[in-house]
Amino acid sequence: MVTLAKSKCCHCGAVRFRVAIDKHEAADCKCSICHKKGFLHLIVPPEHFTLLSGEDVLTTYTFNTGIAKHTFCRICGIHPFDLPRSHPDQFDVNVRCLDSDAIAQFRIVPFDGVNWEQNVHLLRDENNL
C-alpha cells in the first residue's frame, strides 16, 4: 500500500515536495554529514517523488566522490532530500521534513555510516531496511 505524504519540507516553506511512501522504515546514518544535519533516510524511486516548488532556491553540496548530491534550501539551510551515493538513480527524502506527525509512523533503523564502504550493501538490500 502506498501512502501519500505532502511536505512543507524546509523550514521557510520555499521548498515543497510530494512523496509516495510504500515502506515506513528510515535509516539513521552516523556518517559525518548525516549525523551533523540529522538526516533520516527514506530512499524512493523517482516516480514516487515530485518537487512541487523551490527548485530555484535549492543549492547542492558534494564532497569525496561527488556522486551524492546533498541539496539544501539556500534560504533556511534545511536539507529536504538528496540524490544518494548508495542509490544514485533515486531520491533520498529526509523523514524529518515530512508532515510533523509522519516520523512517528516510521521504524528508525541505525546505520553505521562511519564505516560506509563496509556497510553500504545493507542500504542496497531491501530486506535490511
The boundaries of the domain holding residue 75 are 3-124
Q: Do 72 and 83 form a contact (C-beta atoms < 8 A)?
A: no
Grid cell for residue 128: 535490511
Q: Can you say how many angstroms the Cα of residue 61 is from the centroid of all Cα atoms in its chain?
A: 14
In this prediction the pTM is 0.86
Q: For the chain, what is the domain count? A: 1
Where residue 128 falls among pLDDT bands split at 50, 70, 90? very low
Cα–Cα distance for residue pair 94/29, rounded to 1 Å: 11
For residue range 3-46, list pLDDT tens digits in order.
666 667 899 999 999 999 888 999 999 989 999 999 999 999 99
| 129 in a structural domain | no
| 28 in a structural domain | yes
- DSSP state, residue 103: G
Specify the CATH number for the domain of residue 87: 2.170.150.70
| 54 in a structural domain | yes
